[in-house]
Amino acid sequence: MPIEVNGKAFETDEEGYLANINEWEPGVAEVMSKEDDLELTDEHWDIINYLREYYEEYQIAPAVRVLTKAVGKKFGKDKGNSKYLYGLFPYGPAKQACRYAGLPKPTGCV
């Protein structure tokens, strides 16, 4: 089911993940979050941008445990826990944040 961002159609898979990671633009995250009734703040963008950097470097989306640890290291220990991440992304940081970031579903994520 394609989503529409600024008049442009983006192909997604059956679970709503972007079909082509290279097509991603910030508007994709805006539209996806609006559908989930979520307002994106700078804190959300920190995670989304971090996920995109991680994918760029390693060609995979990090597991939640890996993400949690990395966030704690990069943005401060108070943020390196699942409570903080689930507070931002109630459907799960890996599933929801990766989807907004245009990444495929994380390996090992069911």
Partner 1 sequence: MSETIKNFLYLNRKAPYGTIYAWESLEVVLIGAAFDQDVSLAFVDDGVFQLTKNQHTSAVGMKNFSPTYAALGDYEVKKVFVEKESLEERGLSLDDLQHLTWEDEDEDWAEKDSIHLVTRAEMAAIMDGADVVFSF
Q: Which residues are catalytic?
A: 109
For residue 41, the minimal CB distance to partner 1 (Å) is 26
Instruction: State yes or no: residue 21 binds partner 1 (CB under 8 A).
Output: no
Environment class of 47 (CB within 10 Å of its CB; exposed 0-12, middle 13-18, buried 19+): buried
What the block records as the tokens of 48 is 């989304």
Q: Which is nearer to partner 1, 34 or 74 (CB)?
A: 74
Please tell me whether residue 10 adopts helix, strand or coil conformation: strand
3-state helix, strand, coil in the chain (%, to 5): 55, 5, 40
Q: Which is nearer to partner 1, 1 or 110 (CB)?
A: 110
Site for partner 1 in 51-110 (CB under 8 A): 57-60, 62-63, 65-66, 69-70, 73, 107-108
What the block records as the tokens of 29 is 């995250």
Site residues (vs partner 1, CB under 8 A):
57-60, 62-63, 65-66, 69-70, 73, 107-108
